[in-house]
Amino acid sequence: MIIRDVIVTPIAFRDPPLLNAAGLHEPLALRSVVRLVVDGGIVGLGEGGGGQQLIRGLEAAGPAVVGKSVFDLNGIEAAINAVLGGGDDALARRDRRAVFSPIEVAAHDAQGKILGLPVSTLLGGAVRDRVPYSAYLFYKWAAHPDPVTGEIGEPDAWGEAVTPEGIVRQARTLIDRYGFESIKLKAGVFPPDEEIAAIRALAEAFPGYPLRIDPNGAWSIETAERVGRELGSILEYFEDPVLGLDGMSEVRARTGLPLATNMCVVAFEHVREAVEKDSVQIILGDHHYWGGLRRTRELGAICETFGIGMSMHSNSHLGISLAAMTHVAAATPTLTYACDTHYPWNREDDIVRPGALEITGGAIAVPTGPGLGVELDEDALERQHRVYLDSAQRDRDDAGYIRRFQPAFDPQLPRF
Amino acid sequence: MIIRDVIVTPIAFRDPPLLNAAGLHEPLALRSVVRLVVDGGIVGLGEGGGGQQLIRGLEAAGPAVVGKSVFDLNGIEAAINAVLGGGDDALARRDRRAVFSPIEVAAHDAQGKILGLPVSTLLGGAVRDRVPYSAYLFYKWAAHPDPVTGEIGEPDAWGEAVTPEGIVRQARTLIDRYGFESIKLKAGVFPPDEEIAAIRALAEAFPGYPLRIDPNGAWSIETAERVGRELGSILEYFEDPVLGLDGMSEVRARTGLPLATNMCVVAFEHVREAVEKDSVQIILGDHHYWGGLRRTRELGAICETFGIGMSMHSNSHLGISLAAMTHVAAATPTLTYACDTHYPWNREDDIVRPGALEITGGAIAVPTGPGLGVELDEDALERQHRVYLDSAQRDRDDAGYIRRFQPAFDPQLPRF
């Protein structure tokens, strides 16, 4: 049960030209895959974010956890914190938790493989056998521009989505394919009236579907108040309309709408102030920066205790993360909202063997095999690692990317 | 890994005549022992409170969990809640959690035995290998009165403690025997000036020892303020000086002292109001009514998030509970205060084999064997079950007991 080796593999995989308040998704998304090699040839799998800081953190963490029991999660975390060092503020803690997280996930996977138990059971037992996800809609260019000429050629398989009609078409594709029963629109891209029109078009096309809009803090308080007033009655929740706990508190006071966040409450250290200011009514958990699966369950306990709803945030990710998200969502009673996932946008380059994680009827059946219940495709991992090595990309830069084609783009928020 | 049988055994064991705000400890304390019989002949051990309501709850819960996986803690809890029914308020939830708790502990013990892992590891790993406990002092009669004549005959081995000198003598005995390095006085028994004098005498006799006083809400706000002012500088914390979140909040505002509680925050449903009112600065967790070991860890996460300290409450108990308390304290990083335990008062009638849980240097080494690391002494269990059967006692009634000898005793609080 002793960790003998930690293998960190940076990967890159194709990502469509999705728009958000920060800019445009680059042609490649970056992630990291962690393999914990444990006695008896058992290998635990974890997936974390990309970017050089995180990769360096994982590479530093590896030697610190070799020799530890794969069951000693507290000891593993302490060893990682010791080698990483750094400050005591919320964001420094979040950054350390982001390093711990893929290792914690891999430890859970290894534990489950050793014990013959699914990770959801290690987390206390699945309270639901299917985890619902939402259709995650993006404004989107037809294709990535030519890197030299900046010209957009033939549309990709998803096509363009820059109008209400395009958004409805995209929703239709996702819902036809996966059966999603709720919808989230990534907003903060076009003037608010256009995005209001998109939500209205979705409400008309998909009556009864819970709808969410998330401009990532791109709006002023006044804009958020106006959008809230116009859309309030048809929104399930209103996600990060403005930046910061004070702004969110003000929007809450003005609109009375349930506000969700994955931006102003991203660490345990933010929760107290958020409660005091009534800034958020739903926290989007994310085991990638809340410190792994157990801590996400603990976040659930905190949310339940303080009458806060819980949903789940996503970044571009592949199947190891999807499995981890599904297990922890299954074992967190209070996580009752459909989770976000980017998986439909990126799954073609997945590094786990297909079959274990199919979204049908808008939900994923919680894997019941040992550990995470997914199997690494080593060839695919090698392939996506090659893609990483062959690319020049080392950090995510949505703003820098869109500026290549729209030099006047200003990432400063609020924008509207 | 399937639970095949649940055996609930009510027990009674000798308890000295300890005084508190509610009255006098009866000659017998009541508890329940739960054995979960799992596939492969593995038996998980749990210990819960006594009393008819809890025993009835456990007897109803047993059949509901037979057939469940011993790893499916969420499923076990849901099945228990379904058969118990009842309200949704905090105290109804606490009562259901009190039924779940010994079963959850027994499930952890069984899991550990199946996996060859100590319970602390199942809870994320011990962050300390020794768990400190405090010397738990009680005002005490010399012996239990004769039930017919009411006369107190020869003193028991502990002797009388009704003066500052008696309290210091008792502390000396406990510290000599167990090496405790902090001291708690159960107060609310004598007029506050006498109890102030006792704390001062302890401070003089044991310089540098952290001191706590706990009158169980027996004081008015004014009395608490006065005691706080007189003792504040020498108290580690001030436990339940008054009843209720509002009273505690007022005492906090008037004295600025760190207030601890196991009375006004006894369920997750109480925490939010306590935070809003700044009523408590330290919560004394107790897995027996917070819903088991995992929930106690979650309480730790809540405390940490809201800047609340964590300590641990105790009732009269035997070794299974002591082992469970030690494991969860070891695995809860934020539980940094020495825990309370009544164990020295009751250990002679223990139902686990001696040796696994020795208090030395004021602390217990966290057992490293599988599960809780204690072994049931079946003869001793049978003996204490017989004591239960042969006694008429079915519910704790400290007030009724002291009234037999002091008919004017009024349990109404505040008293002073």
- On whether residue A373 sits in a domain, the answer given is no
CA distance A93 to A54: 13
Residue-wise pLDDT tens digits, B283-303? 999 999 999 999 999 999 999
Q: In the prediction, which pLDDT does A396 show?
A: 97
Write the CATH number for B236: 3.20.20.120
Residues of B in contact with A331 (CB under 8 A): 74
Q: Are residues B316 and B382 in the same domain?
A: no
Q: In the prediction, which pLDDT does B411 show?
A: 94
User: What is the residue range of B194's domain?
Assistant: 122-365
**Residue of chain A with shortest Cα separation from B124:** A73
Query: Do the chains contact at A72 and B268, CB–CB below 8 Å?
Result: no
- On whether residue A400 sits in a domain, the answer given is no
Residues of A in contact with B126 (CB under 8 A): 74
Model ipTM? Answer: 0.93
**Is A342 among the residues known to form the active site?**
no
**Residue of chain B with shortest Cα separation from A277:** B276
Kindly state whether A108 is in contact with chain B, defined as any CB-CB distance less than 8 angstroms: no
Kindly state whether B297 is in contact with chain A, defined as any CB-CB distance less than 8 angstroms: yes
DSSP letter for B3, please. E
Between positions 210 and 269 of A, the ones with CB within 8 A of B are: 268-269
- On whether residue A87 sits in a domain, the answer given is yes
Nearest to B62 by CA among B111, B123, B107, B112: B107
Q: Can you tell me which residue has the tokens 């005995």?
A: B173
Q: Are residues A205 and A69 in the same domain?
A: no
Q: Are residues A284 and A193 in the same domain?
A: yes
- The model carries a pTM of 0.96
Most A CBs within 10 Å: which of B103, B298, B304, as the mutation test of the A interface? B298
Kindly state whether B400 is in contact with chain A, defined as any CB-CB distance less than 8 angstroms: no
Q: In the prediction, which pLDDT does A378 show?
A: 98
Query: Do the chains contact at B302 and A307, CB–CB below 8 Å?
Result: no
Query: Do the chains contact at B69 and A297, CB–CB below 8 Å?
Result: no
Burial class (CB in 10 A: 0-12, 13-18, 19+), A127: buried
Kindly state whether A78 is in contact with chain B, defined as any CB-CB distance less than 8 angstroms: yes
Kindly state whether A97 is in contact with chain B, defined as any CB-CB distance less than 8 angstroms: no
Residues of B in contact with A301 (CB under 8 A): 268, 295, 298-299, 301-302
- On whether residue A29 sits in a domain, the answer given is yes
Q: In the prediction, which pLDDT does A233 show?
A: 92
Residues written for chain B: 416
Shortest Cα–Cα distance, B306 to chain A (Å):
6
Question: Which of B186, B287, B317, B327 is the catalytic position?
Answer: B186
Q: Are residues A91 and A234 in the same domain?
A: no
- On whether residue B325 sits in a domain, the answer given is yes
Cβ atoms of residues B230 and B198 within 8 Å: no
Burial class (CB in 10 A: 0-12, 13-18, 19+), B150: exposed
Residues paired with A185 in a beta bridge: A137, A213
Q: In the prediction, which pLDDT does B398 show?
A: 98
Query: With helix as H, strand as E and coil as C, how does chain A read?
Result: CEEEEEEEEEEEEECCCEEECCEECCCEEEEEEEEEEEHHHEEEEEEEECCHHHHHHHHHHHHHHCCCECCCHHHHHHHHHHHHCCCCCHHHHHHHHHHHHHHHHHHHHHHHHHHCCEHHHHCCCCCCCEEEECEEEECECCCCCCCCCCCCCCCCCCCCECCHHHHHHHHHHHHHHHCCCCEEEECCCCCHHHHHHHHHHHHHHCCCCCEEEECCCCCCHHHHHHHHHHHHHHCCEEECCCCCHHHHHHHHHHHCCCEEECCCCCCHHHHHHHHHCCCCCEEEECHHHHCCHHHHHHHHHHHHHCCCEEEECCCCCCHHHHHHHHHHHHCCCCCCCCECCCHHHHHHHCCECCCCCCEECCEEECCCCCECCCCECHHHHHHHHHHHHHCCCCCCCHHHHHHCCCCCCCCCCCCC
Cβ atoms of residues B316 and B342 within 8 Å: yes
**Residue of chain B with shortest Cα separation from A333:** B74
Kindly state whether B302 is in contact with chain A, defined as any CB-CB distance less than 8 angstroms: yes
Residues of A in contact with B117 (CB under 8 A): 71
**Residue of chain B with shortest Cα separation from A270:** B305
Residues of A in contact with B299 (CB under 8 A): 301
Query: Do the chains contact at B69 and A125, CB–CB below 8 Å?
Result: yes
Between positions 334 and 353 of A, the ones with CB within 8 A of B are: none
- On whether residue A407 sits in a domain, the answer given is no
**Residue of chain B with shortest Cα separation from A115:** B115
Nearest to A72 among B74, B125, B271 (CB): B125
DSSP per position, B132-189? EB-EEEE-B-SSPPPTTT----S--TT--B-SHHHHHHHHHHHHHHH---SEEEE-SS
Residues of B in contact with A75 (CB under 8 A): 125, 127
Most B CBs within 10 Å: which of A71, A265, A269, as the mutation test of the B interface? A71
Q: Are residues B177 and B211 in the same domain?
A: yes
Query: Do the chains contact at B307 and A272, CB–CB below 8 Å?
Result: yes
CA distance A320 to B84: 39
Backbone angles phi, psi at A152, to 5 degrees: -95, 120
Cβ atoms of residues B282 and B259 within 8 Å: yes
**Is B186 among the residues known to form the active site?**
yes
- On whether residue B410 sits in a domain, the answer given is no
Query: Do the chains contact at B305 and A271, CB–CB below 8 Å?
Result: yes
Kindly state whether B71 is in contact with chain A, defined as any CB-CB distance less than 8 angstroms: yes
Size of interface A-B (CB pairs under 8 A): 83
Query: Do the chains contact at A74 and B302, CB–CB below 8 Å?
Result: no
The H or E element containing residue B46 is: strand B42-49
For residue B150, how far is the Cα from the chain centroid?
29
Q: In the prediction, which pLDDT does A398 show?
A: 98
Shortest Cα–Cα distance, A300 to chain B (Å):
9
Torsion of CA B399, B404, B406, B409, to 10 degrees: 30
Shortest Cα–Cα distance, A75 to chain B (Å):
7
| B215: three-class secondary structure by DSSP | coil
Question: Which of A140, A184, A186, A342 is the catalytic position?
Answer: A186
Nearest to A272 among B268, B298, B306 (CB): B306
Q: Are residues B190 and B275 in the same domain?
A: yes
Q: Are residues A53 and A192 in the same domain?
A: no
Kindly state whether A2 is in contact with chain B, defined as any CB-CB distance less than 8 angstroms: no
Query: Do the chains contact at B301 and A307, CB–CB below 8 Å?
Result: no
Write the CATH number for A43: 3.30.390.10
The list of chain A residues with pLDDT below 50 reads: none
Q: In the prediction, which pLDDT does B261 show?
A: 98
**Residue of chain A with shortest Cα separation from B76:** A125
Q: Are residues A289 and A176 in the same domain?
A: yes
Cβ atoms of residues B212 and B186 within 8 Å: no
Q: Are residues A128 and A17 in the same domain?
A: no
Query: Do the chains contact at B302 and A305, CB–CB below 8 Å?
Result: yes
Is the torsion defined by CA of A111, A114, A115, A120 positive or negative?
positive
Q: Are residues A205 and A249 in the same domain?
A: yes
Nearest to B210 by CA among B280, B135, B131, B261: B135
Shortest Cα–Cα distance, B359 to chain A (Å):
25
For residue A270, how far is the Cα from the chain centroid?
19
Between positions 128 and 157 of A, the ones with CB within 8 A of B are: none
Nearest to A302 among B69, B126, B302 (CB): B302
Quickly count: other Cβ atoms within 10 Å of residue A254's Cβ. Answer: 15
Query: Do the chains contact at A272 and B331, CB–CB below 8 Å?
Result: no
Nearest to A266 by CA among A21, A96, A54, A91: A91
- On whether residue A414 sits in a domain, the answer given is no
Domain count, chain A: 2
The list of chain B residues with pLDDT below 50 reads: none
Kindly state whether B117 is in contact with chain A, defined as any CB-CB distance less than 8 angstroms: yes
Q: Can you tell me which residue has the tokens 């025993």?
A: B55
Question: Which of B313, B317, B327, B342 is the catalytic position?
Answer: B313
- Here the tokens at position B21 are 């705000």
Nearest to A272 among B115, B124, B305 (CB): B305
Q: Are residues B192 and B293 in the same domain?
A: yes
**Beta-sheet pairing, A282-285 with A309-312:** parallel
Q: Are residues A169 and A305 in the same domain?
A: yes
Kindly state whether A111 is in contact with chain B, defined as any CB-CB distance less than 8 angstroms: no
Question: Which of A313, A317, A327, A342 is the catalytic position?
Answer: A313
Cβ atoms of residues B120 and B110 within 8 Å: no
Residues paired with B413 in a beta bridge: none
Kindly state whether B73 is in contact with chain A, defined as any CB-CB distance less than 8 angstroms: yes
